[in-house]
Amino acid sequence: MKAALRHLKRHKGRSLLTLLAVLIPVYTLVFMFGFASANLQDMFETATNLESGHFQVRGISEHETASTLPLIDDTTAVLDVLNNTDGVAWRTVRLDVPALASVGDRSESILVQGVEPATVARITPIETLLVEGTYLASGENGAVLGQGLAELLDVGVGGDVVLLGVHPDAAMGVIKVPVIGIFQAPDESMERSLIQVDLSSARALVRRPTAATAVVCMVEDVAGPWDVDKIDTVSSSVSERLPEGFEMVDWRELAPMVMTYMNIMRPVLFVFAASFFVLGALVVANTLYLSVMERTRELGLILALGASRARVMRMILIEAGLITAAGATYGALLGVVFMWIVEAFGGVPLPSQFADVFRSMGLSGEIHLSARAGDIVLSAAIMAAVALLAALIPAWRAARFEPVEAMRYVE
């Protein structure tokens, strides 16, 4: 150990190069994992916390179309199953009804979303997006609509909107509701096509007092897409116990874009990681090989004095182990510090045009970094292991020296 440290100090330039060959890949991989993980978590949370939940229970109907969910006449049996299933942290009943919204001579095709105001905040941001008026209260006869739709209908808070329900599983219904709130959403299509009302108002629109189209559920202790096993366990348990005529739809079907992103990022990260590991290993092998060649006479003398070939090989590997362990540790620490600084300032704002693209994909308009501890440790450990494997080549070369020939070696 002392000899290894002494040699590393003697050749500071080469030791620094070897250190950087390990440090830079680890630091870069921590940054990449942080960026990919933060974006994936952002997309997952946006998708599951914006309308879809972790899974939904829906009715099965022959009349189901791509844009209209079948009506559930009564959710009592479903709620009993959910209430008695471990791991279901939260659920709310929702009723989505295709409708025509009219004010005077202006009309627009929209989706009326009947919600339970007391519980729906977990999966809808509309209350936080209000720019005028107030949000719904339980049992209140009122409507909250997007600013874009309010402009199209030329209506404001205090005005009335006539809703004509056209759900294929129900008779046509008409209700008149006052506008109590207007929201502004980052998604323009959402602003122009959605009206939220109390669940009782939506049921009046389809003329069914216990109707629903979905029961939206969230699972306990899910921090991100890496906890999908918990969702799968709970949703499978619910699916097995559902009465006939119901189905369970999980987040993969509800938010396919998140799955697409995950399927793309995994191989991309793997390729980048493999490239960095190989490049780092080549630099480590090259610098150690040059170091061994420079010390040929010294190593030959050590062998001539009776040191075993295994001891010489071990000496080279100890040097490599010390430098790779230091490089991996410092690289991981620098990556963590950089992520902490970025998050301490609330992320790195993107230019407006890029921010708009990110928001359209369900991401925030800033760059965030949030790698898991497991990814950081794994990056450092694999890089250190690969570098040590690369060090076997020069170590084996050193152990194979013939003492007499090595002592006569001239650079």
pLDDT at 157: 92
The reported pTM is 0.72
Helical H segments across 295-351, by residue range: 296-304, 309-344
* 223, burial (CB in 10 Å: exposed 0-12, middle 13-18, buried 19+): exposed
pLDDT at 181: 94
pLDDT at 62: 64
Task: Per residue of the chain (411 residues), give pLDDT as tens.
Answer: 565 555 555 666 667 777 787 888 888 888 888 888 877 777 787 777 777 889 999 988 665 455 678 888 888 999 999 999 999 988 999 999 999 999 988 999 999 999 999 888 888 878 888 999 999 998 889 999 999 999 999 999 999 999 998 888 887 889 999 999 999 876 777 888 899 999 999 999 999 999 999 999 999 988 888 888 999 999 999 999 998 889 999 888 887 777 787 788 778 878 888 887 888 788 777 777 777 776 666 666 766 777 677 777 777 788 778 888 888 888 889 988 888 888 888 777 767 666 665 655 555 667 778 777 888 888 888 888 888 888 887 778 777 766 655 555 445
Considering only CA atoms, which of 334, 260, 361 is closest in space to residue 22? 334
pLDDT at 9: 59
Q: Which amino acid, residue 318?
A: I
Terminal Cα distance for the chain, rounded: 27
pLDDT at 275: 84
pLDDT at 215: 93
Considering only CA atoms, which of 330, 320, 321, 322 is closest in space to residue 376? 330
Beta bridge partners of 247: 58
